[in-house]
Structure 1
């Protein structure tokens, strides 16, 4: 995602005659001519782009999807997952269309063209809020899985603690410090998003490992007859249960948020005509993973499914080698989140740079600023995950709101502004629907989170 001047300056021929617009702060030069130590970059492949975009989509949110089936039932829940995939494709298509019309190469460029400097700054702030919150939550989950956590006076042992007992070297702080220095920092130092294609492919593979193990356990228990028939439709019996259906809307609305990385991936493609196919392939892959995870997770745990289904694997699965399989599920998903981290970190760094240094030379050509911003952000996220674990509650408000702005409200606003006069009546009706859905989901999220927080704080005094 490039944040800089909105006016295209020079154009360079690159990669099979493709025109690459060079803005004030380009994503990355096609060649590292100034360094002289790199080979020419011939463009990202279709497969690498699909893996990078898919990794952007599939994060920790997948763990909340089985719980939505508990509320909605399998039929309505799966239908809404598929519907949100189509709505996400439509919003990304609008962004790409207006980018092409304005010859801009970034989400910030499109926002700046439609709403000026303050529109671009609004997007940058939304991405900062969303991505910092997401990365802190990722690191908290990794710490919980590997080192354990204590909630309401009950200690849940981490994988390392279960294997080796309690030691200083498998405590939360040290484990996250090693993870940060050995994994996050090296991967975050890469200047081109296509360089993450292999870790992204591994990340998607680890999510599939989680899915395969869950499916295998579920099928085994189905054959043995120890799983009851799940609820297919929501159980609505009064007004309260009806409104409870809407508490899962924010989870579904934010499940596919990846818009902040679409331009970065598009800019590095060998052929930018492939971006629509990349988006469709990524959404199809992620939808399949989402549907199967929701299906098998809800089948396996039924009405006992927790808001974070990963927590269900702390209990006895009632099968041979259940403890080993539980550890495999938790470790594979912790590793998945480690490899998602740099993909989400990439646009965070670029947008912070654009917000603080809008007129500076490209970030990739200023090593001191690149290292300073990267180190500062990683340190902030590390400290947040270690010393303010309750930050999850904070980002239930700010993260959800910023995410729906990035994914639906701002693309819809760009289309309704219609700076180039290319939006159809169908586009505008769709955009009004997206804004209404996004605003409604935000209100529901704020209400439900406020109510839950109030109950949690009030319960000790009762």
Structure 2
């Protein structure tokens, strides 16, 4: 086109230059951080990443905090999540990068980049491991129930270690090899429909009516551990809700800050509704008898119930289809740190995915206390990703806003709250380990 342009037409020259820069920018992100998905697919991916397996424990949380306090905490967590995403999107715009690690490098140099990288890797590996643990322990029980066996007969197809490997190789790995994360929007949509089915079954009125006649809806009285449980609830829910903040830069369907914020708003609103329904109806069904995992409570009452079997299968499907979404940011972080500036390689793309998945399988198979270990790591790494790093990056990189402005002051408060949450949650975990050592049977 340039040969037909008027060389004196400055505006046309600027337009062409802008177009070339935009093209190179899009080619770079397509090559190293692919993720051009539609609005709907972005909502599905982000919602699926938020949902996770934490929904199974919300009824237990409500049983310990009471309905009113639970709703207050849930709304508080959603607001904190949205604010964290807002800080990151504003920082990404002014910092000139859509990559978490790059923002860390521009804010604090190499230490900032390594801190962001390490936090993302540890947190997402912990999340992957927790999902694979559910596959390991739930899938054999689902198969056993399908076959009508009263107890595990010890066959290979009832061995959780074999099954988690088969699921990883047959389902998770192929989905993880996709170059464009946007394609996972279809599996994310199906995954969310499975969890909607779970919430629908939990909310069926006939499971509640028999309990309402003899018990009243009430708030539990506060006991000596309510403060501890409330703090753990906030931190753990923030981990579940805000970990996808790190994926905002991977699942971006547009360069528009406003559009990405809308994706986050819609995803979190949908999850607030689903979390609230699941927690409320699960609690109203069993009250104080609800266990830490809601499905285990149902199993005691409806051991061979067909509908319950379908629910367990739906939860397994949802968890399995979430793992590839968690794997993408891990691979993206490794690529950014070790292979920045190199051309896209399918061999490297596949090799990193296979290595990540193999490492997580080994952890799940050979380390029985991995959830306790990553509970500790998650409380530190996830709190860094959720509170501390977004606020610190914002304060450091956003120069257009005065330091004493309300925006900067609120970000500073957010940073302080993050530090308090991190040390508070770590202290509570250490105290719990002291009183209930991992492997002693007294922990949770």
Report the TM-score, using the length of structure 1 for normalisation. 0.83
Please tell me whether the aligned partners of residues 12 and 22 of structure 1 are also in contact (alpha carbons under 8 angstroms).
Answer: no
Shift of 1:224: 3.2
Residues 328, 452 of structure 1: alpha-carbon distance in 2 compared, 3 angstrom cutoff: farther
In structure 2, what is the Cα distance between the partners aligned to 1:77 and 1:159?
31
The count of residues paired between Structure 1 and Structure 2 equals 418
Query: Does residue 432 of structure 2 align to residue 446 of structure 1?
Result: no
> What is the match of residue 286 of structure 1?
271
User: 1:184: Cα distance to partner?
Assistant: 0.6
Q: Where does residue 383 of structure 1 map in the other structure?
A: 362
The answer to whether the 8 A contact 1:253-1:441 is kept is no
- In structure 1, C-alpha distance between the alignment counterparts of 2:374 and 2:105, rounded to whole Å: 26
| Structure 2 residue 246 is the aligned partner of structure 1 residue 260 | yes
CA shift for structure 1 position 145: 0.6
Q: Give the deviation of 1:439 after TM superposition.
A: 2.7
Alignment of 1:426-445 (within 5 A): 426-445=406-425
Report the equivalent of 2:9: none
Structure-1 separation of matches of 2:189 and 2:420:
35
Which residue of the partner structure matches residue 324 of structure 2?
342
* Kept in 1: contact 2:33–2:250 (CA 8 A): no
CA deviation digits over 1:111-133, x for unaligned, max 9?
Answer: 22211222122101101000111
- 8 Å contact 1:135–1:344 — kept in the other structure? yes
For residue 47 of structure 2, give the secondary structure of its aligned residue in structure 1.
helix
Task: Give 2:173's aligned residue.
Answer: 185
Larger Cα-atom Rg: 2
Structure 1 position 68, deviation (Å): 1.8
Query: CA separation in 1, counterparts of 2:267 and 2:441?
Result: 45
2:146 is the counterpart of 1:163: yes
Structure 2: gaps (5+ residues): 1-15
* Counterpart Cα distance in 2 of 1:409 and 1:418: 14
Aligned to 1:361: 342
Matched ranges for 1:19-168 at <5 A: 19=22, 22=25, 26-28=29-31, 43-147=36-140, 158-164=141-147, 165=149, 166=153, 167-168=155-156
Cα-to-partner distance string for 1:236-295 (whole Å, 9 max, x where unaligned): 25x5554444332322332311111111222x3386642121111111111111111111
**Root-mean-square deviation (Å):** 2.8
Runs of 5+ unmatched residues, structure 1: 1-9, 32-40, 148-157
For residues 11 and 111 of structure 1, the distance between their equivalents in structure 2, rounded to whole angstroms, comes to 29
SS at match of 2:178: coil
- CA offset digits 1:413-458 (Å, max 9, x no partner): 1122244233672223322332333333333332333233333339
Counterpart-to-counterpart distance in 1, 2:169 and 2:70: 40
How far apart are the structure 1 equivalents of 2:289 and 2:107?
47
SS of the aligned residue for 1:283 comes to: helix
Per residue, is there more helix in 1 or in 2? 2
Q: Structure 2-normalised TM-score?
A: 0.86
Deviation at 1:141, TM superposition (A): 0.8
Q: 1:243 to 1:274 in 2, by over 3 A?
A: closer
User: Take 2:324 and 2:277, find their aligned partners in 1: how far apart are those partners?
Assistant: 26
CA contact (8 A) 2:391 2:414 kept: yes
Change in CA separation of 1:112 and 1:77 when aligned onto 2, cut-off 3 Å? same
8 Å CA contact 2:202–2:282 kept in 1: the answer is yes
